[in-house]
Amino acid sequence: MMKNILVPVDGSEGADRAIEQAVTLAKICGAKLNFLYVANINQLAINACLSDVVLEAVTKAGNVILDRAMQMVPSGIKK
């Protein structure tokens, strides 16, 4: 059986459905859920240099998405 399930999240409805399916699978397998968010900083790069302010904003946005994903997991599921 699976011990860990990696769920990529981006805040979209599709990601929410993936979380729901991963929760179901984790219940069956007793697996731990791990979430992954990847920011596409290429869209934000100007002259290949990102300011600390931009990086902080991107990090905060990613943390909001990850926190929301964690809140969607019912108690009793390892995360």
Is the pLDDT confidence value at 48 over 60? no
pTM of the model: 0.84
Report residue 5's pLDDT band, with 50, 70 and 90 as the boundaries: very high
Q: What does the pLDDT look like over 14-28, one tens digit per residue?
A: 999 999 999 999 999
Q: Which of residues 34 and 55 earns the better pLDDT score?
A: 34
**Rg of the Cα trace of the chain?**
15
Q: Are 33 and 23 in contact (CB under 8 A)?
A: yes
CATH 3.40.50.620 for domain 4-71: yes
List Cα–Cα distances, 51 to 43, 45, 47, 56, 57, in angstroms: 14, 9, 11, 9, 10
Residue 26 Cα to chain centre, angstroms: 16
